[in-house]
Structures are given as structure tokens and as C-alpha cells.
């Protein structure tokens, strides 16, 4: 691309918002305004999400994440295996851009973080049809999860979405060095639409989430992002996730579970489970002690699974337990039945 990416980002938004009336997508415009009520208070974070200075911002993001501890209870040999792969690729990226990288600090933090987020969605066996191939990373930070996912699954489709100008531009430079085909939304010669037979990394802004194909993704990852969103925007986003996930597709969430930024705290788990998702995995652990964040895996409800588990079982269940239920209710079911029968007889008698 000949033109500056930041300029293309702003121009594209101005053009796109004329065609799109969805308020929660158009609220991106407010994310670049520090006084906006849409943008949570991030003043204590030493990275300005609304500005991209240069690729030299990348070490700042690494340092930001390196301030945290990433404990876990996984097999250490497996963690180290993935951590080393993560380090090898990021060493290449940093060398390419002539950036400094603290090897030990990286291995103790970012590499471990990447390994954990790769392991959890694969932590236990699942039917082959649920194997992640088409993956979406929502609000992708500097793009770190593309490291292992594209390295270990080169024939997959990986989509990175973000709303903020700072990380979006950083992702662009990071994704280019992942060693797989890269399709950027702001390059019209590159990005036309996501196609199943064109593997690689696709990169587009969050306000264009509606162009993502329905029932397409096997896995959506949301790491440390949902609690930062306003409740209404988070709920609309969940509805989009439901649209683009395949039946039975996985939604991987890792955060501190409760919104700690807005005054009105809410739990997104409740909304998910009443809007087409089922909770499959949530470990019984202490946040920041056993693991940094509470990882959860939800699945988009597959109606074929629901039918297989209910239509055949419910009649048998009630037939076998009808007497027990009636006894438990002290004969209430029989009494109700008797009253209904009497009323029917009485009405028929009046008609005669």
C-alpha cells in the first residue's frame, strides 16, 4: 500500500459509515475521542489505543503485557514447547523491524500467555467436526495469537478484528510477518471477501463485522476484551458471534469475568446462555492465582444435538417417573386432572 495506513483507516470508515446504520458499529468513531463515554477509562494503561506512532510501539505492548504474571496448571513440557515456538517466530518479527526483545522476560510472560491461549481451546477431546480451522480473534491487541495459530495451522483461515486505530495498525505490520498469505481490508487489490479456498490471515476493522460470512467460524477468541465494553455493545456483539459461528462452534473467552470498569457491573455469561450458547467449560480456579483470568468455553447451540438429547429421552423420562412426580406433589397432578375432567363434563351438560 502506497498510502499511509492510518489515513486509509479514517477514509474507509467515513465511506463505510454512510452505508451502515448500525449504532454499535458506528460507535467506533467515538473510540478515538478520549472524552467519549463509549471509551472506557484506560488512563492507567501506558499505551494509547487511539494512536499509532510507528512499529516501535510493539515493544511497548510487549512490556505492557510483561507486567503481568501468567500462572497455570498445565503440563510444563507442553507449555514450554509452544512457548519456544512463539519465541522463535516473534524473534524473527523483532529482528525484521530492528526492535529489541528481552528474551527471558518474553519467555516468562508473552510466550506463556500465547501457549495458554492455544492450549485451552484444545484442552480436551471434541468431535472431529468441531476441530478449529476458521478462527476469529476479536480485539486482537498487537496480534499475538496469530503467532501460534497460523504457525501450527498454516492451512487455516485466521481473521483479526479490531476497533482501535493503534492496535489495528500494529496488527497490520505484525500479521505481514507471519509467513502465511495476508489479506488487508484497506488494500482493494488484496481483500475482496473471505473465501474458504483462500487460506491465510484476513484483517479488517470491527465495524465491518457484518461482511463476515454466516455459520463460517469454528472458533472465536475474546481475550480480556468483553469487560471493557458497554453492556449494550457487548450484547450486540454476542449476537453477531452467534450469526457467524457454525452450529456447535466454540466461543473462547478469557477475562476476569465481571465488568470492573463501568459502574453498572454485569456478567456476560448470563446473556450468552439465554441467547443461543451453552457453557461447556469453566474451571473451578482462583483468578490470578491459578490462572490469569477465568477461561470459559461456550458453544453455539447445535439444534441437531439438542434434538438428539431431548426428543428421544424426555418422553421416556416422564413415563418412568410420572408416579414419582405425582407422589412428590402429593397427588396434585391427579387432583388437577380430576378438576379439569369435571369442568369439561359440566360444560357439556350445560350445552345439552
CB 162 within 8 A of CB 194: no
User: Both 319 and 297 in a single domain?
Assistant: no
In a domain, 169, yes or no: yes
**Is the CB of residue 142 less than 8 Å from the CB of residue 94?**
no
Would 14 be classed as within a structural domain? yes
**Any idea what DSSP says for residue 44?**
T
Residues 54, 63: Cα–Cα separation, whole Å: 16
Residue closest to 139 by CA, chosen among 113, 163, 155, 115 = 163
- For residues 272 and 125, membership in a common domain is answered with yes
Report the distance separating Cα 172 and Cα 170, nearest Å. 5
Question: Residue 180 domain-assigned?
Answer: yes
DSSP assignment string, 212-280: SPTT-EEEEEEES-GGGS-HHHHHHHHHHHHHHEEEEEEEEEEE-SB--SSSS--BHHHHHHTTTEEEE
Domain CATH for 206: 3.40.50.150
Per-residue pLDDT of the chain (352 residues; tens, 9 = 90+): 556 777 777 777 777 777 764 554 455 444 444 434 444 444 445 567 778 889 999 999 999 889 899 999 999 999 999 999 999 999 999 999 999 999 999 999 999 999 999 999 999 999 999 999 999 999 999 999 999 999 999 999 999 999 888 999 999 999 999 999 999 998 866 666 898 999 999 999 998 899 999 999 999 999 999 888 877 888 889 999 999 999 999 999 999 987 554 445 567 888 899 899 999 999 999 999 999 999 999 999 999 998 888 756 556 655 555 555 555 555 565 566 567 766 766 665 655 4
Domain contains 53: yes
β pairing state of 200-205 and 157-162: parallel
Q: 87 with 178, same domain?
A: yes
123 and 27 in a single domain? The answer is yes
Say yes or no: 286 and 324 in one domain: no
| Residue 283: Cβ within 10 Å count | 13
Residue 308 lies in a domain: no
Pair (15, 59) in one structural domain: yes
Is 19 within a domain?
yes
Cell 477509562 maps to which residue?
41
Among 220, 233, 110, 82, which residue's Cα sits nearest to residue 159?
A: 220
Q: What confidence score (pLDDT) does residue 33 get?
A: 44
Q: Are residues 245 and 336 in the same domain?
A: no
Q: Residue 343 sits in which domain range?
A: 313-351
pLDDT of amino acid 228 = 82
Distance between CA atoms of 271 and 195, rounded to whole angstroms? 31
Same domain? For 109 and 132 the reply is: yes
22 lies in a domain? yes
Longest pairwise C-alpha distance within the chain = 97
Q: Are 215 and 246 in contact (CB under 8 A)?
A: yes
Rounded Cα gap, residues 153 and 163, in angstroms: 26
Residues 323 and 299 in one domain: no
Q: How many domains does the chain have?
A: 2
Which of these three, 281, 303, 325, is where a domain ends? 303
CA angle, 130 then 224 then 208, to 5°: 70
For residues 279 and 330, membership in a common domain is answered with no
Q: Give the single-character DSSP code of 267.
A: B
Placement of cell 466454540 in the chain: 250
Does residue 321 share a domain with residue 239? no
Residues 333 and 291 in one domain: no
Following DSSP, what letter does each residue of 71-92 receive, concatenated? Answer: ---S-HHHHHHHHHHHHHHHHH
Of 284, 303, 322, which marks where a domain is finished? 303
Q: Cα(179)–Cα(177) distance, rounded to whole angstroms?
A: 6
Query: Is 292 a domain residue?
Result: yes
Amino acid at each position: 500500500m502506497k498510502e499511509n495506513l492510518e489515513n486509509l483507516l479514517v477514509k474507509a470508515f467515513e465511506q463505510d459509515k454512510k452505508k451502515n446504520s448500525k449504532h454499535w458499529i458506528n460507535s467506533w468513531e467515538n473510540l478515538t475521542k478520549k472524552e467519549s463515554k463509549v471509551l472506557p477509562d484506560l488512563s492507567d494503561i501506558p499505551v494509547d489505543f487511539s494512536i499509532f506512532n510507528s512499529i516501535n510501539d510493539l515493544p511497548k505492548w510487549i512490556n505492557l503485557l510483561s507486567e503481568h504474571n501468567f500462572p497455570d496448571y498445565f503440563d510444563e513440557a507442553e507449555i514450554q514447547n509452544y512457548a519456544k515456538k512463539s519465541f522463535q517466530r516473534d524473534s524473527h518479527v523483532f529482528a525484521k523491524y530492528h526492535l529489541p526483545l528481552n528474551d527471558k522476560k518474553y519467555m516468562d510472560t508473552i510466550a506463556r500467555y500465547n501457549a495458554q491461549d492455544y492450549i485451552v481451546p484444545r484442552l480436551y477431546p471434541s468431535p472431529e467436526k468441531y476441530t478449529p480451522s476458521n478462527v476469529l480473534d476479536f480485539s486482537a491487541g498487537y496480534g499475538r495469537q496469530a503467532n501460534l495459530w497460523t504457525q501450527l495451522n498454516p492451512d487455516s483461515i485466521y481473521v483479526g478484528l479490531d476497533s482501535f486505530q493503534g492496535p489495528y495498525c500494529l496488527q497490520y505490520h505484525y500479521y505481514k510477518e507471519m509467513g502465511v498469505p495476508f489479506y488487508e481490508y484497506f488494500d482493494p487489490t488484496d481483500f475482496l471477501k473471505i473465501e474458504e479456498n483462500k487460506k491465510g490471515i484476513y484483517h479488517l476493522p470491527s465495524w465491518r463485522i457484518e461482511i463476515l460470512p454466516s455459520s463460517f467460524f469454528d472458533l472465536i477468541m475474546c481475550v480480556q476484551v468483553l469487560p471493557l465494553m458497554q453492556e449494550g455493545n457487548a450484547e450486540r456483539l454476542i449476537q453477531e458471534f452467534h450469526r457467524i459461528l457454525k452450529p456447535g462452534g466454540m466461543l473462547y473467552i478469557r477475562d476476569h469475568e465481571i465488568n470492573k470498569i463501568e459502574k453498572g457491573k454485569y456478567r456476560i455469561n448470563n446473556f450468552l446462555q439465554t441467547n443461543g450458547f451453552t457453557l461447556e467449560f469453566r474451571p473451578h480456579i482462583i483468578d490470578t492465582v491459578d490462572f490469569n483470568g477465568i477461561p470459559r468455553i461456550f458453544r453455539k447451540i447445535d439444534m441437531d444435538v439438542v434434538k438428539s438429547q431431548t426428543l428421544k429421552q424426555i418422553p421416556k423420562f416422564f413415563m418412568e417417573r410420572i408416579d414419582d412426580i405425582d407422589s412428590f406433589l402429593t397427588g396434585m397432578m391427579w387432583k388437577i386432572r380430576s378438576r379439569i375432567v369435571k369442568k369439561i363434563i359440566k360444560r357439556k351438560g350445560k350445552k345439552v
